[in-house]
Amino acid sequence: MTQPITCIILAAGKGTRMKSQTHKVLHKVAGRSLLGHVLAGVEPLTPAQTVVVVGAGRDQVEAAIAGSAGVTTALQEPQYGTGHAVLAAKLEVETSVGITLILYGDVPFVPTDIMAQMTATAAQQGGPVILGFDADNPGAYGRLVLGADAMLERIVEAKDASTDELAITLCNSGIMAAPTEQLFSLLDAVGNNNAAGEYYLTDIVAIARTRRLSVNVVQADEVDVMGVNSRADLAVAEKVFQQQRRQEMMDGGVTLQAPDTVFFQADTTVGPDVVIEQNVVFGPGVSIESGAIIRAFSHLEGCHVESGASVGPYARLRPGAQIGANAKVGNFVEVKNARLAAGAKASHLSYIGDADVGQNANIGAGTITCNYDGYFKYRTVIGSGAFIGSNTSLIAPVTIGENAITGAGSAIAKDVEAGALGITRAPQSTKAGWASRFMAMMSAKKAAKKKSA
């Protein structure tokens, strides 16, 4: 029987190196907060409970997770180290049964399968499990010293390590799992007899060994346990995420013509056989169905693109845009809170906002839906098969019927019935010779002015 999992996420630190009024764990990578990445990674484990330990900036963190199912908070105040932070969560933990997994709100990329391996190992072995990693440059990381039985003997901080211990590349991430009841028993024995007067979570390893408990190590890649403590770290994390997501997309059958120039969000979904050209940026909330093409220099956010549709180049899809199967949104076209049905086309230089465009309708170049009067927004409805002439202004609320046509250059403020022509052009008049006389007069004036100067 699978044991219930409790997750404790430490997010009480001040994060002063970020130099921001925003709490460190709320800074974003790929449109999702660092804490949001951790919570998303935990979710497939279906934890019985998740406790986020808050302290500095608690109001921001509590607001960010408000409404998250199964997530509660515990206050660490004052803050006396990582062990003290976990003990602060003890009062919020609803059961002593099962396994507790301890994570950090500023370590966003721990893979779910690694978390699952840790909790399973803790359950099977009946002791703590430490997440380690082989560091290219171990530097100031704590070293994991293994015994002959491959169990963890101790964690040695770099400043206290011998020459032989400094040569160890297996390092401590700080992330661990342990049977819940055992974890809090070990923490109760942790003291603060150190220079900082803090209670260190890692001290439970030595205590566990004195109690003859096995302490196992699960290994992750170094990039999986990278922490984000500064703006520079944030930029590195963004780069790491984008590289991984691009590879995932290509592995899933998506063509990226210039991968390094395409930027995804954490929630971007793209079906197989989609082609994405260079310099495309996805904002939050985008889904693309199989067979669509997103052309160069387009920006998409909060939208859905159906199979076979074409977007761009230089197109912008804003929140609420719904692009139907085989529809086309061309260059320098902006679509906001509007649906283009199957086969509809807006090929160039148009703004389609708060509108419903029917099947196979054609939107001519320079068309604008005038959807806002300075106070309220209104919808435009364009029927199936309608043809909107170039440079038409559709002054909402207005409906263009099926198979209707609007004349180029018209400002349409009244409904146009199905099959009708709507046109508002003033009658054209021509004055013979006027242009020639005007140009001759102005040229003479210009020449006289130049001579007098």
Phi, psi (rounded to 5 degrees) for 421:
-105, 125
Of 143, 140, 138, 147, the residue nearest 156 (C-alpha): 143
Using DSSP, state whether 157 is helix, strand or coil: coil
Q: Nearest-CA neighbor of 242 among 29, 32, 25?
A: 29
Q: What is the CA radius of gyration of the chain?
A: 31
How much of the chain is in helix, strand and coil states, percent to nearest 5?
Answer: 25, 30, 45
Sign of CA dihedral 25, 28, 34, 40: positive
Token readout for 176 is 């661990």
Q: Decide if 391 contacts 366 (C-beta within 8 A).
A: yes
Distance, CA of 310 to CA of 325 (rounded, Å): 9
User: Counting Cβ atoms within 10 Å, is residue 410 exposed (0-12), middle (13-18) or buried (19+)?
Assistant: buried
In the chain the first and final C-alpha atoms are separated, in Å, by 99
Query: Cα separation of 419 and 144, whole Å?
Result: 78
Q: Is 188 helix (H, G, I), strand (E, B) or coil?
A: helix
Contacts of 341 (CB under 8 A, 6+ apart): 324, 327, 356, 357, 358, 359, 360, 361, 384
Distance CA 326, CA 214 (A): 60
Angle at 101 between CA 97 and CA 107, to 5 degrees: 165
Annotation says 348 is catalytic: yes
23, 27, 299, 348: which is the annotated catalytic residue?
348
Q: Which residues are catalytic?
A: 348
